Amino acid sequence: MNYFKTVHNKLDRNGESIDIVLLDREKNESEGANKMIDSPSPIFDTVKPGKILAIDELDAKLLV
């Protein structure tokens, strides 16, 4: 069972952040975003040493 929440900014009509909202990750995030959250190691291994990581179509269920 997944108990993780994701944090999102709540914006006013002008696009200014006025609050934060915690959302149930499983119900509110795309499958691609959840896959990325579940498998962060390749992302950090690339970004931490200053390399470039290109990700295309996050909503297309990432294969890691």
5 forms bridges with which residues in the sheet? 24
Domain ranges, residue 11: 5-60
Q: How many domains does the chain have?
A: 1
Q: What is the pTM of this model?
A: 0.48
How many angstroms separate the CA atoms of 10 and 45, rounded?
31
The long-range contacts involving 4-13, CB below 8 angstroms and separated by at least 24 positions, are: 4/37, 6/33, 6/37
pLDDT per residue as tens digits for the range 7-32: 999 999 999 999 999 998 888 888 87
Is-contact 32 62, C-beta < 8 A?
yes
What is the predicted pLDDT for the residue at 50? 77
